[in-house]
């Protein structure tokens, strides 16, 4: 077996299962999971209809590049959403459909990282663990950039020394952030582009939560938008990842796209052709419907906005958290700083599952610090319907008031 497999860390939910082992929650309380970021809102009916209508397409092989109509729908959506120059995002050169961002992020690192020289990949800390796992299996080493409250839960890129940047081949941005909900400002994207030109690395922006934001007048900016503002219509050294999982409540569809620099898309497409991961034709047809419709996305945001308001009213008196700008997560501090004990005891007493923050971050690897930036916090995924989410928040408050 590949010895690099031994470098992989346990996945957060593997740790969570071990933490909960032996706990016996009250049988009369229905379980409510706030630990997994799996949307529970209804998917668009038109998308489901399209899947049924095109079910016969399973008899045909899809191509790696996908249907021209899908690439065009994606390019049109991204151009509108991120105020790109007309025709600057070419569906033929700059867009590639993928089976969700998780698969694409992992594959992109394998295709991109050059292990014949120092191969570091900068990742936000805390982070989506695929960034780390993909790096280790590609023969690279993560460079953890802590995201602390005093920095608005964004990495302090100016604190990274030049010697460290020289070994970096990829910088991952997650905006809106998982688990923090922090949004990367346009100026930060542009500064990363400047650093990428200076030190010759790729900026890879995971924007799968970009359509879940609380202020309808302030959609989160994206990396391609930063390129456009700089007049950088070739999107040089820049790549973005988007998905229908959160935007359209379609996590099981496994549909997304990568877009950006044609000099990155072309070899990545060649890698994917050998990898054999083309999107099924019936999924492509359904995805076209989803990318062309915004009405269901507006309704989705409204539903999350209602949940954030309700949960905020319940939990603000007993937990310390900054209202997120976007995503569907809360990232509160726990009363006594022990996120593992909090999660286990909450589950045992109230049958509510949350994810300890330390499971999503690393300590000791970032700038010599020994503090894990996720420790003392928990991630709450507000993905269930309103009634269940409010019930979960009520149980959490009851638990805190009784225990602390």
- In the chain, what are the domain boundaries? 3-42+296-403, 61-292
Which pLDDT score is estimated for 369? 54
Nearest-5° Cα angle at 279, 37 to 71: 95
Chosen CATH of 61-292 out of 3.40.50.20, 3.40.640.10, 3.30.1490.20, 3.30.420.10: 3.40.640.10
Contact 358, 346 (CB under 8 A): no
CATH number of the 3-42+296-403 domain: 3.90.1150.10
Query: 3-state DSSP: the chain helix, strand, coil percent, rounded to 5?
Result: 45, 15, 40
Which pLDDT score is estimated for 365? 54
Which pLDDT score is estimated for 323? 85
Give every residue of the chain whose pLDDT is below 70, as ranges.
Answer: 364-370
Which pLDDT score is estimated for 370? 67
Q: For residue range 279-314, what is the model confidence (pLDDT) as tens digits?
A: 999 999 999 999 999 999 999 999 999 999 999 999
Which pLDDT score is estimated for 367? 46
Which pLDDT score is estimated for 74? 98
Cα–Cα separations (whole angstroms), residue 278 to 96, 135, 174, 254, 367? 10, 23, 25, 11, 40
pLDDT > 90: percent of the chain:
96
Angstrom distance (rounded) from CA 174 to CA 176: 6
- Our CA dihedral for 374, 376, 382, 383, rounded to 10 degrees, sits at 50
Residue 253: strand, helix, or coil = helix
- Return the residue matching tokens 């998308």: 47
Angstrom distance (rounded) from CA 265 to CA 97: 11
Which pLDDT score is estimated for 371? 86
């Amino acid at each position: 077996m590949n010895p690099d497999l031994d470098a992989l860390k346990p996945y957060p939910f593997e740790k969570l299962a071990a933490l909960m082992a032996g706990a016996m929650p009250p049988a009369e309380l229905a379980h409510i999971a706030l630990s997994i970021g799996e949307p529970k809102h209804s998917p668009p009916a038109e998308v489901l209809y399209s899947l049924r209508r095109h079910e016969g397409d399973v008899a045909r092989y899809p191509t790696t590049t996908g249907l021209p109509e899908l690439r065009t729908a994606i390019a049109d959506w991204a151009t509108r959403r991120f105020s790109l120059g007309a025709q600057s995002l070419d569906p033929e050169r700059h867009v590639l459909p993928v089976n969700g961002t998780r698969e694409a992020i992992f594959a992109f690192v394998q295709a991109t990282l050059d292990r014949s020289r120092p191969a570091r990949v900068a990742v936000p800390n805390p982070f989506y663990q695929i960034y780390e796992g993909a790096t280790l299996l590609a023969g690279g080493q993560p460079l953890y950039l802590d995201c602390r409250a005093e920095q608005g839960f964004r990495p302090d890129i100016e604190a990274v020394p030049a010697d460290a940047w020289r070994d970096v081949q990829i910088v991952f941005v997650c905006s809106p952030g998982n688990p923090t909900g922090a949004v990367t400002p346009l100026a930060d994207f542009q500064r990363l582009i400047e650093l990428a030109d200076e030190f010759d690395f790729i900026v890879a922006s995971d924007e799968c939560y970009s359509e879940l934001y609380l202020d309808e007048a302030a959609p989160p900016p994206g990396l391609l938008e930063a390129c456009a503002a700089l007049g950088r219509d070739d999107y040089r050294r820049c790549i973005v990842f988007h998905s229908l999982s959160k935007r359209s409540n379609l996590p099981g569809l496994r549909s997304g796209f990568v877009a950006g620099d044609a000099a990155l898309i072309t070899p990545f497409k060649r890698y994917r052709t050998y990898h054999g991961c083309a999107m099924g034709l019936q999924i492509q047809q359904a995805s076209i419907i989803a990318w062309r419709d915004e009405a269901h996305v507006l309704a989705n945001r409204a539903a999350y906005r209602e949940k954030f308001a309700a949960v905020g009213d319940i939990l603000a008196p007993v937990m310390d958290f900054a209202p997120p700008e976007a995503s569907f997560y809360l990232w509160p501090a726990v009363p006594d700083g022990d996120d593992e004990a909090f999660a286990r005891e909450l589950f045992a007493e109230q049958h509510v599952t949350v994810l300890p923050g330390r499971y999503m971050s690393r300590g000791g690897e970032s700038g010599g610090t020994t503090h894990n930036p996720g420790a003392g916090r928990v991630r709450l995924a507000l993905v269930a319907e309103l009634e269940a989410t409010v019930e979960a928040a009520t149980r959490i408050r009851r638990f805190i008031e009784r225990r602390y």
